[in-house]
């Protein structure tokens, strides 16, 4: 035990030194104060309901004051799956995240001969910037030689200064673990590097204040504590206090901008997803193996010992399928076959396993406890199907319009219970904007567009599944916290709908009912670079 603890301490010291070396700040390319600039502040895992609750209490005074001179979007629509990192893409490019070339924080590329599991959690987070499509350029790249910076983002290709407080974030997330208490007791450095969520967010804000002195053309700041806390603990009073603390830190950032004379600096306060509490953790792979004989493996939660993704495809040759978790409320299932192509409804309903048996994989999934939806394409006609325990439906795309019809039983998305959406079911084609407006206050806002566009991508999962409320798909998934009490990843209202605040100089205050993340990204790009 002593040897193990000594090894851990040595590892932590090396990690601390590596982290400190990552915080070297270049000062070249400083913008003139007259130049347009932006600070994007992302609050990871911001619950729309709890944000509104705190706002009504008057507990978020700095954000409330900012709203009084800004565009306030009551229902910002995040990317699907609702995932950190991946969901940053729309704000930086003005495009739906599923057009990025990656399909979540984890996905599987059948065409690769090695590193098929693209996992951006752990040291391999650097792979995200390599996997994202080269075009269009993001805000950091468009800024050219100007000074740009980010704090706690791995979607930042082209940034001049990238600061990551990963060790402090980890110590905050796992506060209370005995090994952290021992580490905190180390002389000289213990108290400086071991932080709780509140101290960590203060440290992030301090870094941001220092960056602002160099007037960055583009600055990205991630406040990660609401998401990290919810995963481990669920939603309680501390989550509320974290929102209030972040409001205080944002107040400091806004005050610094004023003191420095950054009159042309736009400010965007956004989120990548909301949160949903969890009471039951599922092991879908175990269930499928027991019920069907399907040979399926679940990808690891994180890669800690390498920055490369190099596992050869041959190591998976005995498997029928691979299970890839996004967040903990959604997952992809990839069927491993010689053709290495995406499989559709007909093939999946008559899936021949390596043991010689044939199964209906979609039906096996939807009858599993805790699975809410199963999404898949029809390889014959290009329709996308939504299956649930209650019934099934289909989405057809024609040009830039979408039609939605009930195939069997009760509508899986519950649109039959919403007057605006109900009138569009089985009633022709409508634009994505019309569908978003009609489904905004349903349990699945914008699902017609978001679901179809993701599932129709050739490298998203053959099957996409989402968890029912109160369940997640990640039993005993993470090493330190085996089972989560909260999460995200699915397309339900609690996780896909979040508030946005966007201040732009010389802009009039206004309120919008809804806006997709990529549309806010377009506003930012247009302000900085004149792009529409």
> Are residues 312 and 266 part of one domain?
no
Residue 53 lies in a domain: yes
- By DSSP bridging, strand 330-335 and strand 463-467 are antiparallel
DSSP secondary structure code for residue 30 in this structure: P
Q: Return the residue matching tokens 């590596």.
A: 18
387 and 242 housed in the same domain: no
In a domain, 27, yes or no: no
Q: Is residue 239 part of a domain?
A: yes
What are the φ/ψ torsions at residue 403 (nearest 5 degrees)? -115, 145
Q: For residues 347 and 302, state if they share a domain.
A: yes
For the entire predicted model, the pTM comes to: 0.93
Residue 451 and residue 307 in one domain: yes
Do 146 and 262 fall within a single domain? Answer: yes
Q: What is the Cα gyration radius of the chain?
A: 23
DSSP per-residue codes, 62-86 = HHHHHHTTSEEEEEEE--SS--TTG
Q: Are residues 40 and 175 in the same domain?
A: yes
Q: Are residues 164 and 306 in the same domain?
A: no
C-alpha closest to that of 492 among 388, 349, 382, 354: 388
Whether residue 253 is found in the same domain as residue 170: yes
User: Does any domain span residue 371?
Assistant: yes
CATH code at 91? 3.40.720.10
Q: Same structural domain for residues 381 and 347?
A: yes
What residues make up the domain containing 337? 278-487
Q: Is residue 100 part of a domain?
A: no
Residue 242 lies in a domain: yes
Both 248 and 216 in one domain: the answer is: yes
Structural domain contains residue 109: no
Considering the domain architecture, whether residues 310 and 237 belong to the same structural domain is answered as no
| Tens-digit pLDDT string for the chain (532 aa) | 444 444 445 445 444 444 444 444 444 577 788 799 999 999 999 999 999 999 999 999 999 999 999 999 999 999 999 999 999 999 999 999 999 999 999 999 999 999 999 999 999 999 999 999 999 999 999 999 999 999 999 999 999 999 999 878 888 777 766 555 666 566 666 666 678 899 999 999 999 999 999 999 999 999 999 999 999 999 999 999 999 999 999 999 999 999 999 999 999 999 999 999 999 999 999 999 999 999 999 999 999 888 999 999 999 999 999 999 998 999 999 999 989 999 999 999 999 999 999 999 999 999 999 999 999 999 999 999 999 999 999 999 999 999 999 999 999 999 999 999 999 999 999 999 999 999 999 999 999 999 999 999 999 999 999 999 999 999 999 888 889 999 999 999 999 999 999 999 999 999 999 999 999 999 999 999 996 4
The span from the CA of 468 to the CA of 329, in Å, is 8
Tokens describing residue 397:
């795309």
Domain count, the chain: 2
Do the Cβ atoms of 486 and 235 come closer than 8 Å?
yes
Question: Is 294 a member of any domain?
Answer: yes
Residue 150: CA count within 13 A, CB half-sphere: 20
Rounded to the nearest 10 degrees, the angle between the axes of helix 225-233 and helix 197-212 is 170
CA atoms lying within 13 Å on the CB side of residue 396: 14
Same domain, 287 and 225: no
């Amino acid at each position: 035990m002593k040897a193990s603890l000594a090894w851990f301490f040595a590892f932590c010291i090396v990690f601390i030194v590596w982290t400190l070396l990552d915080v070297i700040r270049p000062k070249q390319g400083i913008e003139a104060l007259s130049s347009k600039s932006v600070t994007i502040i992302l609050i990871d895992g911001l619950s729309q309901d709890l944000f509104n609750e705190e706002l009504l209490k008057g507990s978020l005074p700095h954000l409330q004051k900012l709203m009084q001179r800004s565009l306030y979007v009551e229902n910002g629509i995040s990317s699907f799956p609702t995932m950190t990192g991946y969901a940053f893409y729309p704000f930086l490019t003005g495009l739906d995240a599923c057009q990025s070339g990656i399909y979540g924080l984890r996905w599987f590329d059948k065409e690769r001969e090695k590193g098929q599991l693209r996992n951006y959690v752990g040291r391999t987070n650097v792979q995200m910037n390599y996997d994202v499509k080269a075009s269009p350029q993001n805000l950091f790249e468009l800024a050219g030689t100007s000074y740009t910076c980010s704090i706690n983002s791995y979607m930042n290709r082209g940034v001049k200064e990238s600061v990551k407080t990963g060790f402090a974030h980890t110590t905050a997330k796992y506060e209370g673990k005995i090994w952290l208490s021992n580490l905190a007791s180390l002389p000289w450095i213990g108290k400086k590097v071991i932080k709780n969520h509140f101290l960590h967010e203060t440290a992030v804000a301090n870094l941001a204040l220092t960056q602002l002195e160099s007037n960055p053309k583009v600055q990205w700041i991630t406040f990660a504590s609401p998401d990290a806390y919810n995963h481990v603990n669920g939603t309680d009073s501390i989550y509320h206090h974290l929102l209030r603390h972040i409001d205080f830190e944002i107040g400091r950032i806004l005050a610094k901008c004023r003191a420095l004379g950054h009159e042309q600096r736009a400010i965007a306060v956004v989120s990548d997803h909301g949160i949903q509490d969890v009471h039951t953790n599922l092991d879908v792979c175990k269930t499928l193996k027991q019920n069907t004989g399907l040979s399926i493996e679940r990808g690891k939660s994180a890669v800690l010992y390498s920055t490369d993704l190099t596992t050869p495809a041959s190591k998976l040759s005995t498997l029928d399928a691979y299970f890839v978790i996004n967040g903990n409320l959604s997952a992809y299932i990839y069927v491993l076959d010689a053709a290495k192509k995406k499989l559709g409804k007909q093939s999946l309903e008559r899936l021949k396993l390596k043991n010689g048996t044939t199964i209906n994989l979609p039906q096996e999934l939807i009858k599993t406890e805790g699975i809410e939806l199963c999404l898949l394409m029809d390889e014959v006609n290009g329709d996308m199907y939504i299956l649930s325990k209650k019934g099934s439906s289909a989405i057809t795309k024609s040009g830039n319009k979408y039609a939605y019809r009930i195939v069997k039983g009760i509508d899986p998305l519950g649109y039959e219970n919403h007057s605006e959406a109900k009138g569009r079911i089985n009633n022709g084609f409508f634009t994505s904007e019309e569908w978003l407006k009609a489904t905004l206050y349903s349990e699945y806002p914008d699902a017609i567009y978001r679901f179809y566009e993701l599932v129709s991508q050739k490298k998203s999962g053959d099957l996409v599944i989402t968890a029912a409320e109160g369940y997640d798909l990640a039993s005993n998934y993470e090493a330190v916290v085996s089972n989560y009490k909260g999460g995200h990843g699915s397309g339900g209202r609690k996780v896909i709908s979040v508030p946005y605040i966007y201040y732009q100089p010389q802009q009039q205050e206004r309120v919008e009912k809804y806006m997709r993340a990529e549309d806010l990204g377009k506003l930012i790009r247009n302000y900085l670079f004149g792009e529409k």
